[in-house]
A and B are shown apart, each in its own frame.
Chain A
Amino acid sequence: MIKPLIIDIDAKSPLPIYEQVKFAIKLAIFSGYLAEGDQLTSIRDLSVQLKINPNTIIKVYGQLEEEGFITSRQGSGYYVKIDPTKVHREKYEVFEELSAEYVHKALGLGYTVDDILKLVQQKYRSRNRSEDPKEPPHASD
C-alpha cells in the first residue's frame, strides 16, 4: 500500500522546488506518517501529481537516498529506510527550523522568549503525548 504524499508547492518560495519536496517528505517520515518500510509514490505518479518535471523527483529521491532516508529496490521502487548513522541530527534540525519560523514571528510581534515559553506551557502542556494516531506509538525523544 502506497500512502499518498500531500505536498504543497510554493511557486514563490525562495526555496527551490526540489528542496520543498525533499523537506515535505522528510516531515512525512519524521511525523510518522510514512513508517519504516513504507513504499513511496512512484517517480512518475508523484511528478504527475505535483506537476513537476520527473527529473526533479529523480533528484529528490536520489538525494534522500544519499542522505539516508530512503532506499531503492530494483524494479519495485523506493522505500522508507532510515539510516541512523546519517539521520540523527536531521530530525532535530527540522524541529529547529520549524521552531525558528514560529519564534521569529512571535518575537516580531513584540513578545519575549519568556512570553513564548509561558504560552507554550499553558496551551500545549496537555498535548505532551499526542493523541494524533499518525504519530508512532513510542517516539524516542
Chain B
Amino acid sequence: MLQIKNLSFRYGKHRVFQDFGLDVPDGQVCLITGVNGVGKSTLLKLFAAVLRPDAGTIEFPKSMAQDPKRKIGFISDSLSLYKSLTVGQAIRYHRDVYSVRTFDDNLIRHTKIERGQRVKDLSAGQRTIFHLSLILSTEPDILLIDEVIHSIDAYLRKLFLDQLIALISRRSVTVIMVNLNFYDIEHIVNRVILLRSGKILVDEPIEELKAKVKKIVAAKQPAALAVLSQSDFSGYSEFYVYPYEPGLAGDIEGNVVDLNLTEIISAFIGGEYAEQGIS
C-alpha cells in the first residue's frame, strides 16, 4: 500500500497541498485528473520523490521500503533525460544505475529509433516511447505516468497503452496515471480521483462512478438531485447529476442517460467553471 499522510507542499508562494492524504492499494490502476494547474503533476512528482514535501510523509509498500526509487518507474511531462546522450548511451546509463541486465528493445525498434541518435533529436513521440521502454526495463512495482500520452500520435499512443496493459497482465503493478483524455484508458483504470484546489473532490471505483453520475434530459431540473452542470437547449436541458440512485428513476420526468468517463469528468469540471462564474 502506498500511503500519503498529512502532505503539505508549496511551489514558491503558491500552496498546492495542505494536509493531503491518499492511499493507493497494491496493484490498483488509479487515474488522477482535474483542471490544469490543480496539482496533479506535482502529486506525481511527490510520489516519485523528485519533489520533497514541506510536511507529511509518503510511505511505500514494505517490499519497496528499503530503496523505493529502485522500484518506481516515473515518466513526467517534461520527459527529463540526459538529452545530449545518444539513445545507446542513455540506455547504458540507465541500465547501469538500476543494475538491469537485459533491455527489451522491442518498443524502440517499433518506432524506428536508432541507438546512434541523440535523445534531443528524437521526436516528442519517440522520446515518450523511449522513456517508457527505459522505465519498463527496470521492472517497477509502481508506475507513475504523467500526461505524456496527450501529445503523441494515435499510433504511438496505442503502442504505449498496449505495453502498459501487457505489463499489468505480466505482474502486479500499481499504476498512477495523470490524464486529461480518457477515451482509450477508461477500461484500464480501476479508480478515478478528481482533484480540486488541492483536495480530493471525487474518489470512486470507476464502475461506481458510472453508476452515480448520469445525464438527465428533461424540460426542467429534476428535484432532489444535485446537478453538477447543465447544457441548455430550446425547450429542454441536459442535467448532469451526482449522486444518482437507481431507485429515483421512477420519479424523474425525463430520460436517464448513461455516460462515459469523458462526459463524467467534463460534468464535474464544468461545474467547477460554473462555480467560478465562467459559463
* A interface, CB within 8 angstroms of B: 9, 11-14, 16-17, 43-44, 47-48, 50-56
Q: What's the A-B contact tally at a CB cutoff of 8 Å?
A: 52
Say how far A14's CB is from chain B's closest CB, in angstroms: 5
The reply to whether A55 and B258 contact each other, CB–CB distance below 8 Å, is no
Q: Which of A11, A13, A43, A44 contacts B186 (CB 8 A)?
A: A11
Is B166 part of the binding interface, using a Cβ–Cβ cutoff of 8 Å?
A: yes
What total of chain B residues lie within 8 Å of the partner, measured CB to CB?
A: 24
Instruction: Find out whether the CB atom of B161 lies under 8 angstroms from the CB atom of A53.
Output: no
Q: Please tell me if the beta carbons of B258 and A47 are within 8 angstroms of each other in the complex.
A: no
Contacts of A50 in B (CB 8 A): 187
How far apart sit A92 and B161, CA to CA, in the bound complex (Å)? 38
Give residues of chain B (182-233) contacting chain A, Cβ–Cβ below 8 Å. Answer: 184-190, 207, 210-211
User: B190: which A residues are within 8 A, CB to CB?
Assistant: 53, 55
Interface residues of B in 246-262 (CB under 8 A from A): 257-261
CA distance in complex: A46, B40 (Å): 31
Q: Is the interface of B mostly helix, strand, loop or mixed?
A: mixed
Min CB distance B72 to A, Å, is 21
Given contacts A11-B261, A13-B258, contact A53 B165 (CB under 8 A): yes
Most buried by B among A16, A17, A48, A50: A48
Q: A53-B29, A56-B187 are in contact. Are A12 and B161 (CB under 8 A)?
A: no
Given the contacts A48-B162, A53-B190, A11 and B169 also touching, CB distance less than 8 Å = no
Residue pair B170, A9 in contact (C-beta under 8 Å): no
Q: Provide the B145-179 mask, 1 if CB < 8 A to any CB of A, else 0.
A: 00000000000000001100110111000000000
Known: A12-B259, A51-B161. A17 touches B170 (CB 8 A): no
Asked whether A53 lies within 8 Å of B258 as measured between CB atoms, the reply is: no
With an 8 A cutoff between CB atoms, is B21 at the interface? no
Contact A53 B168, CB 8 Å, known A11-B261, A16-B207:
yes
CA distance A105 to B161 in the complex (A): 38
User: Which residue of chain A has its CB nearest to the CB of B207?
Assistant: A16
**Residues of A with C-beta under 8 A to B166:** 44, 48
Given that A9-B187, A11-B187, A17-B187 are known contacts, is A54 also in contact with B169, CB under 8 Å in the complex?
yes
List residues of chain A with CB within 8 A of the CB of B29: 53
- The 5 closest A-B CB pairs, nearest first, are A54-B169, A11-B260, A44-B169, A52-B187, A12-B258
Chain A neighbourhood of B257, CB < 8 A: 12
